[in-house]
Chains A and B, each alone.
Chain A
Amino acid sequence: MRYRVSFAIFFILVFLSAAAAFPADVYRLKPGAKGKICTNCHVDFQDKLKRPFLHTPVKQGDCSDCHNPHTSSHGKLLEADPYRICLRCHEEIVPKKAKSTHKVVVEGKCTSCHDPHSADNKWNLLKAGNELCFGCHKDLGQAVKKARFRHSPVEKGCLNCHDPHASEKFGHLLKTDVPGLCTNCHKADKPAFTRQHSGYPVAKARCTSCHNPHGSEKAAIMYANVHRPVLSKMCNQCHESPSSQTPFKVKSPGYELCRGCHSKMVNETFGKNQLHWALVGKDGCLACHTPHASSEAALLKGPMITVCGACHADTIKRQESSLAKHEPVNKGECTECHSPHASDVTLLMKNPSVNDLCGSCHGWGKHTSHPIGEKVRDQRNKNLNVNCLSCHRSHGTPYKKMVPFATATDLCVQCHKQ
């Protein structure tokens, strides 16, 4: 027994002395092998090292922190997928339950904004200030540049209001939510502020429902299209009095509020067979429109394809995956063919005749010698006539010419069985 214990102690001692004898560098690397000697071959890298902002591993000469010196399954001999490499050190860049995230960050395209080695700009950014953001957000950049009435925080930099990676608690990558973000600068207790807003306690409301935070052609950076009562400061046309207990409460529910002024439109809508049900839901007209101001025509909540696609995602998806693109759908101009409020025709079509509707853009009379029209019966169904939709689907199909069959033969034999 004593023999065994001595034996074990002997082995432990041998192991420990062996560990002490080996240096930390088991591979006996040359000095600077982790990076500094890389520049012996990569001579052009010296220029990068001269830039004012260096990525920490570069500064420390640790190229092998990110690159494998021998072999790799990733481009540029990277140790792993680029995003994973970045996350090793910058793990906290996107909070786990972030309310909003920047698409490029989630996609792992860190190098869209940052140079992984060195840069002339702080945080290794490829470009300085807003120039970097407007590289992708071109339309916004143009609008900001052209705006007659500018918002000074935008001029100073997008990062005044937005977090470039993610926002843990707020939408649109905002650092603080509206109205808190706005009232940091715009003091709501000033008499002029109260007067401008007709006495309504807007410091508790969403400023961006009227004001375009990125600047506008309109004074007070209002959105391009303003609802008339807002423009004339007649808020109490729709809302209760500013001195009431519930000043923002609207005077009537749903579409009934809008009916007060838009009675002609509402009456026409209710006189049709087919109603767009969203209009009479709990949100009423606000299912699609914004009540105060919008950058979109007709005070739409957003671009038409986004508004319609919020409910009709399957239809939008069909077009996206379609081989042929139907131009109005592709452009998001749903109202080219559909009446958004109501119609006497199914699918809220604008014209009871499919052929006439399609014919307003397509000269279908010249398109084919195939019999088509009200008097030509569809061979598949005695209650149907031959029209454009007998052979095409207007929101697209996976096949050519928006035909719902893989080949022309498959289409033709539907009727021509012989």
Chain B
Amino acid sequence: MGNSRVRIIVSIAAMLLLAKVSIGAEALKLRHFQSVYADDKEAGFRSPEGVGCDGKGHILVADSGNGRLVRFTLIDGKAMPDKEIKVPELSFPVRVHTNSKGEIFALDGRQKRVVRFSPGGGFLGRVDAAGSPPPSTVIPRSFDIGKDDSIYLLDVFEGRVLMLSPEGKFLKSIYFPAGYEVISDLAVDGKGTIFLIDSVKAMVYVAAKGSGKFSPLTESMKEGMKFPATITTDAHGNIYLADKNGGNIYIIGQDGSFKGEQLTMGWKEGQLRYPCQLCVNDKGEVFVADRDNNRVQIFSTVR
């Protein structure tokens, strides 16, 4: 009797150990801790598609349906609204990022161009990718800012990533990988590695800094994902994908290994409906533009 109990305990312990090894020590979970619904005047968000965060405790919400950016400052973990940016040059913001100087960049989904603002919200002009090789038409579906303030435009018209100087001048281009279907978003990590997400194939492509071409980082993940449309990275090398149609966040490692599927579709806090842009700050807090729930949700990462 005693022997069989010991055997059971030993086998359970072995199974647990095996499970831990197979999941990996870095399996990540997202824990909801705050949802942001409105500005300081209680004007609620409408279909926000973008959210950006910087290392200075700011969050920028691309409140797409209201045609504005709203800046928040995280004070003791609470998002406090402190500025609204609403200008005619930005009628429908869908992505937002900042550079190391605090300048704000936003992609206008209507005018299909990236515009630049000073840290105080003053309009500085558009990023026109001057000097880019033909064709002259550039249609950015998304963009990201590198650690060195380089600007990376996802030009879906020609099927390429345009790498621009911090001033917006052309430096280099990398064409989308052969056999791609629909590239929806890109992300650049601290090392200058560029990641692409193909929504139809549910596949991530990668180009290391200095490389001239993209190669697959993962196999197709279509078995698990429905339509992953946005991608971001964190300081630890984790890659986050928002499955727009599935209402989930997927986390994978830099080697493409699966690290977790988080959240479900729904209306309640901690659930998502058509999540769009994601960002992760230096504390590992994950911000999600929860578009069809008209809010931005903030999650902490738990290992």
Residues of A within 8 A of B (CB): 253-254, 256, 270-275, 277-278, 280-282, 310-315, 346-347, 378, 380-384, 390, 404, 414
Contact = CB atoms under 8 A, between A and B. Distances in A.
A282 B157 contact: yes
Contacts of A256: 137
Contacts of B295: 381, 383
Contacts of A274: 109
B250 interface: no
Contacts of A347: 274
Contacts of A275: 109, 112
9 A-B pairs with the lowest CB-CB distances in the bound complex, closest first: A383-B294, A314-B226, A380-B267, A383-B44, A273-B92, A282-B159, A280-B139, A311-B200, A273-B110
A266 B245 CA distance: 27
B79 interface: no
A384 B157 contact: no
Contact of A282 (B44, B158, B245): B158
B109 A277 contact: no
A384 B245 contact: no
B268 A346 contact: no
Contacts of A272: 110
B37 A270 contact: no
B174 interface: no
7 contacts: A273-B91, A280-B112, A311-B200, A347-B274, A382-B44, A384-B267, A384-B294
B157 A414 contact: no
Nearest to B44: A383
B132 interface: no
B38 A383 contact: yes
A281 B267 contact: no
A184 to B, nearest CB: 32
A277 B294 contact: no
B248 interface: no
Contacts of B227: 312, 314
Contact of B135 (A253, A278, A314, A382): A253
A145 B47 CA distance: 52
B221 interface: no
A312 B291 CA distance: 19
B245 A314 contact: yes
A193 B68 CA distance: 60
A254 B157 contact: yes
A315 B200 CA distance: 12
Nearest to B291: A346
